[in-house]
Chain A
Amino acid sequence: MNMQQAFRDPAAAKQLAAAIAAITTRPWNIMEVCGGQTHSIIKYGIDQLLPEGVNLIHGPGCPVCVTPLEYIDKALAIAALPGVILCSFGDMLRVPGSQEDLLGLKAQGADVRIVYSPTDALEIARKHPDQEVVFFGVGFETTAPTIGLAAYQAKQSRLKNFSLLVCHVRVPPVIEALLDSSDNRVQGFLGAGHVCTIMGCGEYVPLAGRYRVPIVITGFEPVDVLHGLYACIKQLEEGRFEVENAYRRVVREQGNPAAQQLLRQVFEVVDRNWRGLGMIRHGGLALNDDYRDFNAELRFSVDAIDTQEPVACRSGDVLKGLLKPSQCPEFGTRCTPEKPLGATMVSSEGACAAYYRYRRLQHG
């Protein structure tokens, strides 16, 4: 059995589920922060192995879902300009803007391309010196270093026809905002393993102490998620509230110092509007002044964009854990992956999309 299979092992999963049942004496609301964890929980049915009363709240950790509409519209406006090649991650292309999505714009003739890495976009820029290549970069601290690297390399090689539309977000401020909100129900967190691979665990220590919540850094395979849940519930039952690393095979306490240094070199921390959640103080990363020449927002004047969020979409409540996707009146009727009202129905990591794919028709 290889390592990956070991973390999908049915016997180990059942053993952990039994251990969780044995220590759980009352109901707990636990939020898994990352969309990758949500996806794994719903895909494998991990929530169905948990004792009654352990309620998993699906957090805001899906980068596609929280990218504000304003930025989708900016990307659409830039992609529609003549001579522009707009590149992004596959997930972003189906997110609806106010009027349409990037795939629809591509069908009308815009040059929109899926790349696997921002540095692929650099290559495209080198191959097409007479065109403007723009990379639309979104995501958490996990993907920020790769986008930072593209910016760094573009600057080093003085690439003139490359720029970045950056809408990066940071996890700790949004956890703080959730805990500060008056309708918060979350009692413990499964921290996002891949974010902490870059940033380490230190940022979460003040949060755990100040708000008296356990934060357990957790991985993504079924056994990882169950292990994280066990550690979190154990802390809750014992009245502890610590930052605990339950994903040691990947996450080091200090994270990845080289990546962190790159982030400091290229980005600055800014207040950021999160789709569905509103303005989060210090919740984003933007290119800093040294990299302003590569900022697509400055290169193409796309400031005055009138965005229109669909009124019926309740993704904000879903992202805050106030509503399960299937409790939304629009779920599966007016809102489907083919015609999504909000980004949570689009992304492979979005809670609504996960429920639609894996839970719709469950009892049909």
Chain B
Amino acid sequence: MADFELNCPLPLQYDRIVMAHGGGGRLMQQLLDTLVRPVFRNPVLDQNHDSAVVEINGTKLAFTTDSYVVKPLFFPGGDIGKLAVCGTLNDLAMSAAKPLYLTCSLIIEEGLPAADLQRILQSMQQTASEAGVLIVTGDTKTVDRGKGDGLYINTAGIGIVGEPVNVRPSAIRPGDSIIVNGDLARHGIAVMLEREGMNFEHRIESDCADLSGLVQELLQAGIEIHCLRDLTRGGLASALIELASAGRYEFELSESALPVREDVRAACDILGFDPLYIANEGCFALFVPELQTEAALAVLRRHPLGQQSCRIGQVKSACSQGRVTLQTLIGVNRILDLFSGEQLPRIC
């Protein structure tokens, strides 16, 4: 088997952008690799991390930005405002930075109820204040009715990386344990069920949360963190595949160890989705030396956002292409591969 090769990266095959180019899968990688990165290429961008780490007068700063488009604006467990703050805080936290300041740019569609906007802004302020960061600058634009989904938000963030921390994809080593801090796929499913008006017996809430405090606890406890990656768009699988490919390592996961809540799994089964590819907004993958596994788990489990923490796999030896394998429930190994774009609901 497998007497074939993949000629990757493929050229961008659509002459227009399609939705799948933003889906966190292979088409998005192609867009970044063939159109975006070549234009901006520089050593900081090439760090390929959730935020860029730059040094200014001996101080290491983490710097990141993200745009938030979510329909509906309010969903179980959060809203676009909370999401826009947590998402950027988490990108900073993945570089082990302590977040300090955020920006807030609003693109508002004509007709958005002012009360909704106020509620969203208050939610942003509350989330920022709980995280101990300030929203210090921003911008406001409006667009014609029908040209936006009510509201888009962009936030950028800046934070300080303490010494001598060096948390980055290239620090991953064979033998490292791979740990997640909570159950998977809740955000994507919560938003989807709300959007489609599908009701389950129990309401599934997004896991949307600021993870920077949890990361700071790991650092303060002296855990030797090799790498952190938040498991947003594209889910656990896409994030790990990207890291494994970049570092040319094999990651081996155990399907029976992957934490997915029963109601979330049921929703995925009904819709034909694989929970490993569904977005999270309060989950990270943590890489630590095997000997530190228990210590890291103990720190995580003491924190409200880490009580479900568990080890899901390990970094194996280097391999030529880099890959993620999954030992299935029935004990057979298979690879995890990037989706093309977004997962599409199946027919039956």
List chain A positions with a Cβ less than 8 A from chain B: 2, 4, 8-10, 13-14, 36, 42-46, 48-49, 63-64, 89-94, 103-104, 106-108, 114, 116, 138-140, 142-143, 194, 222, 326, 331-333, 336-339, 347-349, 356-364
Which one of B19, B30, B337 contacts A103 once the chains associate, using CB atoms below 8 Å? B19
Determine if A338 and B13 form an interchain contact, defined as CB atoms under 8 angstroms apart.
Answer: yes
Which one of B2, B196, B320, B346 contacts A362 once the chains associate, using CB atoms below 8 Å? B2
Determine if B335 and A360 form an interchain contact, defined as CB atoms under 8 angstroms apart.
Answer: yes
Which one of B3, B196, B321, B344 contacts A361 once the chains associate, using CB atoms below 8 Å? B321
- In this assembly, does B41 line the interface, its C-beta being within 8 Å of a C-beta of chain A? no
A interface footprint on B243-270 (CB within 8 Å = 1, 0 otherwise): 0000000000000100000100110010
Main secondary structure of the interface of B (DSSP, over half): loop
Which residues of A are found within 8 Å of B198, using beta-carbon distances?
Answer: 116
Q: How far is the CB of B302 from chain A (nearest CB, A)?
A: 29
Which residues of B are found within 8 Å of A357, using beta-carbon distances?
Answer: 337, 339
Which residues of B are found within 8 Å of A2, using beta-carbon distances?
Answer: 262
Assess A339 versus B13: contact at CB under 8 Å? Given A116-B196, A332-B5. yes
Which residues of A are found within 8 Å of B17, using beta-carbon distances?
Answer: 107
- In this assembly, does B111 line the interface, its C-beta being within 8 Å of a C-beta of chain A? no
Determine if B344 and A94 form an interchain contact, defined as CB atoms under 8 angstroms apart.
Answer: yes
Which one of A104, A338, A359 contacts B1 once the chains associate, using CB atoms below 8 Å? A359
Give Cα distance in the complex from A219 to B239, angstroms: 32
Determine if A139 and B332 form an interchain contact, defined as CB atoms under 8 angstroms apart.
Answer: no
- In this assembly, does B27 line the interface, its C-beta being within 8 Å of a C-beta of chain A? yes
Determine if B328 and A359 form an interchain contact, defined as CB atoms under 8 angstroms apart.
Answer: no
- In this assembly, does B18 line the interface, its C-beta being within 8 Å of a C-beta of chain A? yes
Give Cα distance in the complex from A91 to B335, angstroms: 22
Sample (14) of A-B pairs whose CB atoms are under 8 Å apart = A43-B328, A45-B328, A45-B330, A46-B330, A49-B332, A91-B344, A103-B20, A106-B19, A116-B198, A143-B347, A339-B13, A357-B339, A364-B2, A364-B319
A interface footprint on B1-43 (CB within 8 Å = 1, 0 otherwise): 1111111001001101111100000110010000000000000
Q: How far is the CB of B3 from chain A (nearest CB, A)?
A: 7
Q: How far is the CB of A255 from chain B (nearest CB, A)?
A: 15
Determine if A49 and B330 form an interchain contact, defined as CB atoms under 8 angstroms apart.
Answer: yes
A90, A93, A339 pick with most chain B CB within 10 angstroms: A90
Which one of B265, B328, B333, B339 contacts A4 once the chains associate, using CB atoms below 8 Å? B265
Which residues of B are found within 8 Å of A90, using beta-carbon distances?
Answer: 344-346
Determine if B14 and A104 form an interchain contact, defined as CB atoms under 8 angstroms apart.
Answer: yes
Determine if B346 and A91 form an interchain contact, defined as CB atoms under 8 angstroms apart.
Answer: yes
Determine if A139 and B1 form an interchain contact, defined as CB atoms under 8 angstroms apart.
Answer: no
A interface footprint on B152-195 (CB within 8 Å = 1, 0 otherwise): 00000000000000000000000000000000000000000000
Q: How far is the CB of A312 from chain B (nearest CB, A)?
A: 14
- In this assembly, does B148 line the interface, its C-beta being within 8 Å of a C-beta of chain A? no
Determine if A14 and B331 form an interchain contact, defined as CB atoms under 8 angstroms apart.
Answer: yes
Assess A333 versus B6: contact at CB under 8 Å? Given A90-B345, A114-B345, A361-B335. yes
List chain B positions with a Cβ less than 8 A from chain A: 1-7, 10, 13-14, 16-20, 26-27, 30, 196, 198, 256, 262, 265-266, 269, 271-272, 319-321, 323, 328-335, 337, 339-340, 343-348
Determine if B27 and A338 form an interchain contact, defined as CB atoms under 8 angstroms apart.
Answer: yes
Which residues of B are found within 8 Å of A8, using beta-carbon distances?
Answer: 329-330
Which residues of B are found within 8 Å of A43, using beta-carbon distances?
Answer: 328, 334
Which residues of A are found within 8 Å of B7, using beta-carbon distances?
Answer: 333
Determine if A4 and B266 form an interchain contact, defined as CB atoms under 8 angstroms apart.
Answer: yes
Q: How far is the CB of B245 from chain A (nearest CB, A)?
A: 11
Determine if A358 and B330 form an interchain contact, defined as CB atoms under 8 angstroms apart.
Answer: no
Determine if B16 and A362 form an interchain contact, defined as CB atoms under 8 angstroms apart.
Answer: no
Q: How far is the CB of B16 from chain A (nearest CB, A)?
A: 5
Q: How far is the CB of B130 from chain A (nearest CB, A)?
A: 36
Give Cα distance in the complex from A186 to B262, angstroms: 38
Chain A: which residue is nearest B4 at the CB level? A332
Assess A36 versus B348: contact at CB under 8 Å? Given A44-B332, A338-B30, A361-B2. yes
Assess A348 versus B330: contact at CB under 8 Å? Given A90-B346, A103-B18, A143-B347. no
Determine if A360 and B348 form an interchain contact, defined as CB atoms under 8 angstroms apart.
Answer: no
Which residues of B are found within 8 Å of A339, using beta-carbon distances?
Answer: 10, 13
Give Cα distance in the complex from A104 to B13, angstroms: 11
Which one of B1, B269, B348 contacts A363 once the chains associate, using CB atoms below 8 Å? B1
Q: How far is the CB of A326 from chain B (nearest CB, A)?
A: 6
Which residues of A are found within 8 Å of B329, using beta-carbon distances?
Answer: 8-10, 13, 44, 222
Determine if A106 and B335 form an interchain contact, defined as CB atoms under 8 angstroms apart.
Answer: no
Determine if A348 and B344 form an interchain contact, defined as CB atoms under 8 angstroms apart.
Answer: yes
Give Cα distance in the complex from A348 to B345, angstroms: 9
Determine if A89 and B27 form an interchain contact, defined as CB atoms under 8 angstroms apart.
Answer: no
Known: A44-B328, A339-B13. 10 other contacts (CB 8 A): A90-B346, A94-B340, A108-B16, A142-B348, A143-B347, A194-B348, A333-B5, A333-B6, A337-B26, A338-B13
A10, A64, A337, A338 pick with most chain B CB within 10 angstroms: A338
Q: How far is the CB of A317 from chain B (nearest CB, A)?
A: 17
Q: How far is the CB of B19 from chain A (nearest CB, A)?
A: 7
Determine if A104 and B328 form an interchain contact, defined as CB atoms under 8 angstroms apart.
Answer: no
Which residues of B are found within 8 Å of A10, using beta-carbon distances?
Answer: 256, 329-331
Q: How far is the CB of B28 from chain A (nearest CB, A)?
A: 11
Give Cα distance in the complex from A336 to B284, angstroms: 30
Determine if B347 and A362 form an interchain contact, defined as CB atoms under 8 angstroms apart.
Answer: no
Which residues of B are found within 8 Å of A45, using beta-carbon distances?
Answer: 328, 330, 332-334
Determine if A326 and B1 form an interchain contact, defined as CB atoms under 8 angstroms apart.
Answer: yes
